[in-house]
Structure 1
Amino acid sequence: MRAIRSFFDAQAVTEVTTPQMGAYPASDPQLCNFRVDNPLAVSDKAAHFYLQTSPESAMKQLLARGSGSIYQLCQAFRVDPPGALHAMEFTLLEWYRLGFDFDEIISDTLSLVATLLGDRKVEVISYFDIFLRELSLDPLLAGKNELRDAAKRRVDVDMDDVDEQIWLDLLFSHCIAPQLGQGCYTVIRDFPPQQAAMAELAIDAKGNQVAARFELFIEGVEIANGYKELIDWREQQRRFEQDNKTRQARGIAPVEIDKGLLASMREHGLPACAGVALGVDRLLMLAQ
C-alpha cells in the first residue's frame, strides 16, 4: 500500500476517500449488488442503500467538481460465488488522470505494476486479434450460433439460449484469459463497442469501431481494467438504459439508474480523463 501511495504522491495525484454506500446500484448486467436496508428510514428514498461495486460514480462526481487527478484505495463489494480469484469483499485501487489519452493510461498502469512487481516483457494485443490468434474466430463477424458452437466444443457448459456477449465472455474467460500474461504483462485493448461500459468509442487501425477499454493480465489473472472515460452524459444515460434492457432480456431485475452521476456530468461536465480499477488482492497474490 505504501508503494502504491508513493507512486501517485510523487506525481501529485490526490488521494481521496468516498462513501462505501451509495443510493444507486451498479447497472452492469454482470454485477450483482449488495443492498443495505435502512431500519430507520422514514421515506422510500432512504429505505435502502448499496455497497459499492467500485468507487467509480463517487470519484467521477469529484472529478466533475474540479478535484483534479485522483486515486483511492478502498473496499469493494460484489455478490459473487467465492473462489481463488473472487471474494465478496476485496481491496480495489481506482484512479483517474485528467488529460490522459488511451495509450497514456495503459502506459501509466504498466508503470505502476512494474514498480510493484518488477519489469517484464509487455505484450499489447487487441481483443479481436487475440480471438483470431487463440481461437481462429472473428468476434466481430461471428454470429450467436457460431459462438455457441465454438464454446461448447471447448467448455463443458449447460446453456443454449443466451446472447452473443455471454458466449464471448465465456470463450474469453475460459479459453483465452488463462493463456495471457505468462512470463510477461499482457494488455488486451480495443474491446467490442457492446462491451464499452463507461468507455469512449474509437476507431482502430483497421477502421473498426471499438471501445477505448483495456484489461491487464498477469499469469492468466485479470489485474486491471481501464478506460478512456466517457464524458457525454446523454450517451452515459443511454448506456444505463441499455444495461437495464440487457438485464431484462437475461431475466435479471432492472435497477434504478445513477441519477447522481448523470446530474454531475450534466451540470458540471466530466473533464477529459482516463481511469483504471486494479485488484489489489490479486496483485498481492502474484507478488508472493
Structure 2
Amino acid sequence: MIDAVRAQTEGRVDWVVSGNADHAAGYAGRYGIANWTTALEDALADDAVTSVYISSTNEKHFGQAMAAIAAGKHVLCEKPLAMTAEEASAMVVAARDRGVILAVNHHLRSAGSHRAIRALIASGRLGRILSLRVFHAVHLPEHLRGWRLDDASAGGGVIADLTVHNADTVRYLVGEDPVSVVAETASTGMGKGVEDSAMSVWTMPSGIMVFSHESFTHPHSASGIEVHGTEGSVIARGVMAQDPVGEIELVTSAGRETVPFDKSGLYEAVVRDFELAAATGAEPAASGADGLKSLQVAIAVREAARTDRRLAVTYGEVQ
C-alpha cells in the first residue's frame, strides 16, 4: 500500500501510527516515513495529512476511523469495515455528515480480471445468469498468520477475512445483494477458537444461486470464480489474489476463448480511485456503504452456521 500511495501524482506517506513504539520507529525507518507515533491524534493534528489508511486489527477500525473522520480526514479502511453492522453504519453516517470520503479496501473489484468478468455479464453474452461459484480456499501466508487464526476479539477467522471479500465480489459482479444464506464453518487445523474454513450458499433477488467457499488451510488449491448463464459460462482461475494474475475463459456454444484483461496493479487502482473521490466527491471503488453490506452478508453467514438455519440478510437503511 505504501508503493500504491507513492505511485499517485501527489501521493505521500507522512506518518505511521502503531501501538508499539519500537515497531513504529523501525517501520518508519525501513520505508522512509518522516514521522511515527503511538498516538493517532498526533498524526491527525497535522494539517498536511488529508487522508488516513487504516490497516490495524479489525476491532480497532471503528475507533480509529471515527477519530479520523471527526478530524476531517478522508479514510481508506481495510476490510471488514468494522466488527459489527452498527459500528459500520455509524462510520458511514459520520463520514457523510462530516463531508469526507469513507472507502474500503475491497481490492478485488479493482482487478482487471474482475472488471472483465463484470463487463461480460453486463454485455449479455452469458445470457440470464443462473449461478456463481466463488472459490477462495487458499493457504494463509505465513506473514498474515497470528491474530487471524487465534483471536476472535480482534476479528479473527476466515469469515471476517475472506467471506467479506467474496460478498463484495459477488455484489460487484451482478449488482445485487444476497437476500438469504445457509452456511457451515469448521476449524480444520489452523484456527484456534475461530473458524478457518467456511462454505455457504446465497440466494440473490433475481434467483441467482451463489456458492462461496473460503479457507485458510488449503495449500494446493487454486482460487477463482465461475459464472454460469443460459448462453455461456465464465471460468476464471487464480483471480482471487492481491496481484493482477490469473486467466479467464469464456465458454459458449461457439467454443472456448481466452478473455484478455488489464493487468495493472490492484492497489494502485484502489488508491487512485480513492484519491479521485477525495478530490472530487466521486464514489471510490468500494464505498463505506459497500463495506457495510459485505459485512452484513458475512455476519449472516456466521450466524447461519451457528444456528443451523437459513437466514435472511438484513441491511436496513443507513440514517
TM band (smaller chain) = under 0.3
TM-score by length of 2: 0.23
